[in-house]
Amino acid sequence: MRDTADRARSQAVPQEPDDARSLLAALIALPGSGLRSVIRSAAMTPGRLTIIAIGLAVLTALASITASLAVRDRSDTMAELTERREPLAAAAQQVYRALSDADATAASAFLATGEEPAELRQRYEDDIAMAGSSLSKAASDPAATLRMTAQIDVISQQLPVYTGLVETARANNRQGFPVGASYLREASALMRSVILPAAEELYRTDTERVAEQQDDAGGFPVLAMLVVVALLAALVSTQRYLTRRTNRVLNVGLVLATVAIGIGVLWSVAALTVQSVLIGAGKDDGTEQVDLLVKARIAALKARADETLTLVARGDGGGYEQEFILLSSRLAGDDGSGGWLAEVKATATDGTRLASEVSAAQDSAVQWLRAHADVRELDNAGDYGDAVRLAIDGGNPDGAAVAFVALDDHLRAAIDEARQSFFDDTTAASRALTLLAPGWIVLGVVAALGVGAGIRERLREYR
């Protein structure tokens, strides 16, 4: 009984797919029959003309929309560059700089005899505050990679530990306990071996992303260009076909369409050329200079910390001095006329503020290296007190402190200047593209109308 029911069911089942199959066949046949009817009508001239008109209109719409989107995309890329990417890189740079400066300043303040100088304390506290608020800015990047987040994590976790160690050092130092110097050196070691490398990595990643985005914004929009060229070719060959068919030299509508698309092409080429030149300028005179200047500034700060830590170490600071020599030669060469400063100087245009700031920085570097040599000479000869005074006295115009602060100020001004050029160039590049995106839509509409009008004129001749 049950068996028969099953059999009946199994017999009934195949019937359904049979219906479905015929439906599917009809569906597949539909484009085929459509194509056949199109081919049939295309064999006759009026039908062919309609198809050409539709094809041209579709191609026009496609070309103008693609071009418009490509332009919009670039404008967005540039807006993001000036409004988000570069500020993020600048924030990362601030973190890096503020932390290096805190390290150098804490050591200077430590060296002062008696009460800690209020201005050094202030500078240290400002650095820590600056580092904290720049860090939260740098951390606000929604597109941050895992690696970047990891670096931010390291800094956020270790910065409070660092400040704790510095305060322990101060408290001990105030009581005259030599263990204070050990705490300070431990703090500095933490800063240099853990926190600063993370800050550097973060800064480096952010800077690389700026460069990538600049390349993106300056690249050639291949797809849009291909579609536009295809459209132009189609327009030209349609006109040649019509000329052959009707012996009329020009079709006003199609000429109008061709001219509209031609204007779009010329406009785009001009605007894109101007834009990519400006983006390039923003890179060469802006971000690349900023990068070199930041490297120089950080090297200067680290070297300054080395200079003071050599004195804090009190006879045990040979390692710091070696690092000073290495960093200062990277910064300014062995005599103050080489290194990164000279590299920036070589690429800066003469007569600009950037060039003058970099020259001033070079002069300060020479003065600092001279003062440093004096400090080392005094300390090596055993005049520790005089060495410390020469190293940290902010009132001595020949001292290391004054020369270093001047160097740091000039480098900061130079970085601001280079950032400004980046911003100016990139904003100008962005302006070069204004109106081009809506322009393409307008030109596309004009071209489509031209195509329609032109073909309709011909079609009318067949009625």
Partner 1 sequence: MSRRLLAVLAGALLLAGCGSAGEPPNLTPRVTAERPTPANAEVSPEIDDVGSAADDCGDPTASLRPKGLATPRGSTMAEIKKRGILRVGVDQNTFLFGFRNPTTGTLEGFDIAIAQEIADALFGDPNRVRFKAITSQQRIDVLRDGAVDIVVRTMTINCERRELIEFSSVYFVAGQRVLVTKRSGYTGLDDLAGKRVCATTGSTSLVNIATAPSQPVPVAVDNWSDCLVLLQQGQVEAISTDDTILAGMAQQDPTTHVVGPRFTSEPYGVGIPKEDTDMVRYVNAVLQEVREDTWQAEYDRWIEPALGPGTPPEPTYE
Using CB under 8 A as the criterion, which residues of the chain lie in contact with partner 1 when the complex forms? 113-114, 157, 161, 165, 172-183, 185-190, 193-194, 314-316, 380-385, 388
Beta carbon of residue 88, minimum distance to partner 1 (angstroms, whole number)? 22
Nearer to partner 1, 322 or 337 (CB): 322
Q: State the Cα angle at 191 between 186 and 194, rounded to 5°.
A: 105
Nearer to partner 1, 188 or 251 (CB): 188
Nearer to partner 1, 400 or 413 (CB): 400
Beta carbon of residue 213, minimum distance to partner 1 (angstroms, whole number)? 29
Query: What is each CA distance from 304 to 78, 101, 138, 221, 403, in whole angstroms?
Result: 37, 9, 26, 48, 11
Beta carbon of residue 382, minimum distance to partner 1 (angstroms, whole number)? 4
Chain Cα centroid distance, residue 387? 44
Beta carbon of residue 180, minimum distance to partner 1 (angstroms, whole number)? 7
Determine how many CB atoms are found less than 10 A away from the CB of residue 456: 13
Beta carbon of residue 435, minimum distance to partner 1 (angstroms, whole number)? 44
**Angle (deg, nearest 10), helices 288-312 and 318-332:** 160
Q: Which residues of 35-65 are buried (b: 16+ CB within 10 A; e: fewer)?
A: eeeeeeeeeeeeeebbebbeebbebbbebbe
Nearer to partner 1, 169 or 341 (CB): 169
* DSSP string for residues in 207-231: HHHHHHHHHHHHS--HHHHHHHHHH
Beta carbon of residue 397, minimum distance to partner 1 (angstroms, whole number)? 22
Nearer to partner 1, 61 or 194 (CB): 194
Half-sphere exposure at residue 174, Cβ-oriented, CA atoms within 13 angstroms: 9
Nearer to partner 1, 67 or 144 (CB): 144
Is the C-alpha dihedral spanning 303, 308, 314, 315 positive or negative? positive
Beta carbon of residue 373, minimum distance to partner 1 (angstroms, whole number)? 18
Joined together, the tokens standing for residue 232 give 């132009």
Beta carbon of residue 199, minimum distance to partner 1 (angstroms, whole number)? 16
Q: Which residue has the tokens 């009132």?
A: 395
Joined together, the tokens standing for residue 447 give 């071209």
Nearer to partner 1, 169 or 265 (CB): 169
Beta carbon of residue 324, minimum distance to partner 1 (angstroms, whole number)? 16
The Cα 233–Cα 254 span in angstroms is 12
The Cα 243–Cα 221 span in angstroms is 33
Beta carbon of residue 290, minimum distance to partner 1 (angstroms, whole number)? 32
Nearer to partner 1, 242 or 309 (CB): 309
Q: Collect all residues with Cβ–Cβ distance below 8 Å to 261 and sequence separation of at least 6.
A: 60, 63, 228, 231, 232, 235, 443, 447
Beta carbon of residue 16, minimum distance to partner 1 (angstroms, whole number)? 22
- SS3 string of 70-137? HHHHHHHHHHHHHHHHHHHHHHHHHHHHHHHHHHHHHHHHHHCCCCCCHHHHHHHHHHHHHHHHHHHH
Nearer to partner 1, 121 or 431 (CB): 121
Nearer to partner 1, 212 or 316 (CB): 316
Beta carbon of residue 123, minimum distance to partner 1 (angstroms, whole number)? 19
Nearer to partner 1, 75 or 173 (CB): 173
Chain Cα centroid distance, residue 354? 21
Query: What is each CA distance from 179 to 176, 283, 346, in whole angstroms?
Result: 9, 49, 47
Nearer to partner 1, 58 or 150 (CB): 150
Q: Is 259 exposed, middle or buried (0-12, 13-18, 19+ CB in 10 A)?
A: middle
